Chains A and B, each alone.
Chain A
Amino acid sequence: MLRVAEHRDETPWTKTMRFKDAVDARPGQFVMVWVPGVDEFPMSISYVGDRFGITYQIVGDGTKALSKAAEGDIVGIRGPFGRGFSITGKRILVVAGGAGIAPTAPLVDAATKKGVAVRLVLGAKSSAELVFESRCAAAGAEVHVSTDDGSKGQKGFATGLASSLIEKERYDSVYACGPERMITAMADICRKRGLPMQASVERIMKCGIGVCDSCALDGKHVCTDGPVFDLEQLEKFSELGKTRLDRTGRKTGI
């Protein structure tokens, strides 16, 4: 159990929780967050290392209960788990849609720190829902904003903006996290261009440690083989963008 050191609003629906403790994690890894008496769920790490933290949208009972935690309250943390991003190349493009910025913000931090030139496409529904824009800019990334409603930056999806950046400039590697249709669209673009890519994928997760098969994706497991997969693996997934397992283990349409 860890104590909450800081809990702040990023948007009306998104909060960041930081802890006094350090968690030695790679960007892209996740933790299982236990809200005692309510639920346990996987959450991307949005701050790695000292005062590690998570950034989450309030979407269900678990995150709603978590959102009420005050400084000094205790929260259960297991992990970090899974395979994170690996930073390769001198110039990279990071594409983050909505809550997809949570695991990619520490990637931007780590890459810029290494001296890698980072272009970030930050997509959200509206300007009110943009998270970590100034954090990533301060880290040294060139930030390009897209909003679905055009309230800030380019109007439209992050994929469109990312595609035009890829046409203009050569990248050594592309990183994506966001809605699954965004990931499959980015995978199509990268395949056509011959660009290496890594993306973080989500599935229902129960154990988090490679035992229960709940997060299975064509025989791989998001908790231990992922959540970050490279393009070669993403292309092999027949279920990506099409189906996911429900809590009983039935494939259901996305």
Chain B
Amino acid sequence: MADLGVDLCGLRLRNPTMLASGVLDETAATMVEVARAGAGAVVTKSVGMSPREGHANPCVVELDVGLLNAMGLPNPGIEYFSEEVKAVKREGVTVIGSVIGGSEDELAAVAALMAAAGADAVELNLSCPHAKGLGTEIGSTPEDVERVCRASKERVKVPLFAKLTPNTSSISNLARAAERGGADAVVAINTLKGMAISPEARMPILANRFGGLSGPAIRPIGVRCVYEIHDAVEIPVIGVGGISTGRDALEYIMAGATAVQVGTAVWTRGPGVFKSICDDISRFMDEYGYSKVDDMVGAAHDTRP
């Protein structure tokens, strides 16, 4: 049997799948359920210094090709959420705390509190495309990304991940900036900014008008981004975007991802999707003669003509 365990910035994961931020991760009980369903780690909802209600409904649009959402980063604030993180840790689950902030200082302060609550790693959300003053609005240029990563790195001892936006002309430049700023890993990609309009109602469906597109439609974009980032930086890459099968995960891994995150597929396939992806990967490794996941990371780069 193939070994699905991976080492990510010193964290030992029992398998390379993680629950992506924003999906089924607002409460401790749910995160524990998802881990029990097979995720190697869970990433929390993005949490800020103060509580946020998020955007009004409609906040999701179901599409054939994926999901368009503008939840608007609802979260209970880091003080309250620290207890949720502790509750997840008590169950022995590896938890990565996603954080948001309106400035590098605020973000660094939330990151420090997230680490203090016991998160095994901290993921900076530099890429949410639909919340004013947050997410991509403080992570859209290499200069911003480097500065923001550096500020958080000074305050956090656990591994620091930078989740980057694909809504840019060069995600490699953002990844290099994250590495310069001290990030221990890069997470790519977040959702692509999009819109859906109801012709009957003559208006955008989302209350926020625009949102972020996730799901199968964005997978080729995510795979391309991870492939480029793998060439651009030395730090590990965590691949995310449209993964719902083991084959999808393998695309990301061979593009250069050390681990993968799964979000929208929880909608279409339920929390059982994690086990299903791991079973697929395991079968593939047995058939194609890989003994560990690490042997496949970036493998697609070795065969260029």
Contacts and interface: CB of A to CB of B under 8 A. Distances in A.
Given A76-B201, A245-B27, A250-B76, A206 B54 contact: yes
Interface stretch (A154-162, A214-222, A227-235): A214-222
A209 B62 contact: yes
Interface in B189-248: 198, 200-201, 203, 205, 207
A65 interface: no
A158 to B, nearest CB: 30
Contacts of A76: 58, 198, 201, 205
Contacts of A214: 26, 74
B69 A207 contact: yes
A246 B45 CA distance: 15
Interface in B105-154: none
30 contacts: A1-B198, A1-B200, A34-B57, A36-B201, A40-B207, A74-B201, A76-B58, A78-B62, A206-B57, A206-B74, A207-B59, A208-B60, A211-B23, A211-B67, A211-B266, A212-B23, A212-B59, A213-B26, A214-B74, A216-B29, A220-B33, A221-B30, A224-B270, A245-B26, A247-B54, A247-B74, A248-B51, A248-B76, A249-B45, A250-B76
B77 interface: yes
A100 to B, nearest CB: 23
Contact of A219 (B29, B52, B71, B270): B29
A216 B267 contact: no
B62 to A, nearest CB: 7
Interface residues of B, number: 41
A39 B56 contact: yes
B51 A250 contact: yes
Interface of A: 1, 32, 34, 36-37, 39-41, 74, 76, 78, 206-214, 216, 218-221, 224, 245-250
A39 B175 CA distance: 38
A206 to B, nearest CB: 5
B99 to A, nearest CB: 15
